[in-house]
Amino acid sequence: KAERDLLASRIRPGFTFIDIGANVGGYALFVAALAGPGARILAIEPQPVIFERLVYNIGQNPFGTLKAIACAVADHDGDLTLFVDTHNRGQSSVKMVAGSAGRGAAVRVPAKMLTTILREEGITRIDAAKLDVEGAEDLILEPFLRDAPRSLLPKILIMENAKGRWQHDVRARLVEHGYRKILETRLNLAFELD
């Protein structure tokens, strides 16, 4: 609730929102409903069954501003293994999560770096982004923070708090790039670019 309130308070005309690990579209559809027809929203989801539900949900809503992309966001372009948790498909990850062995399948999915996706989509500004990729947030953010121009960094960044699963200190890297933490809930962190 606090994360959505934060997003709602920042939406302006022409809002650009990137939802990485969009699942069935809860955040993307929420932003689309508030932002109106001038918004630009990408909902990125790699898990094939979940992606089908995302596309269906987008089709049931009248928001022409939302585009679904079927791929994983990663630290390289190509493809990678996605570990699908069949008990909770929303917890599928490109990282093998402790306790998930034997509970699903490994599937190959296309993968792109965030900079590649933004270039292909012609996005030059991000007002807000949400990352919920089950512990792989560092794999996305590390190369993005290294390679993206400051003008492309999201003004607001909401992400899953998966500190124990990160290989890189994401919080420290964000602070190095001018972000400050503005919200911490049990599950998520939110940062704003100063």
Q: What is the pLDDT confidence band of residue 103, given thresholds at 50, 70 and 90?
A: low
Q: Residue 131 has which token pair?
A: 């990352």
When pLDDT is cut at 50, 70 and 90, the band that residue 90 belongs to is very low
Whether 147 and 115 have beta carbons less than 8 Å apart is answered as yes
Mean pLDDT, the chain, integer: 90
CB 180 within 8 A of CB 192: yes
Q: Is 93 helix (H, G, I), strand (E, B) or coil?
A: strand
- What span, in angstroms and rounded, lies between the C-alpha atoms of 68 and 154? 19
What pLDDT does 78 receive?
Answer: 95
* Local structure of 163: helix, strand or coil: helix
What pLDDT was estimated at residue 12?
92
User: What is the helix (H) or strand (E) element at residue 159, kind and residue range?
Assistant: strand 156-160
- Residue written as token pair 């995302």: 54
* Dihedral over alpha carbons 71, 74, 76, 77 (to 10 degrees): 10
Please give the pLDDT value at position 148: 96
- Structure confidence at residue 134 as a pLDDT band (50, 70, 90): confident
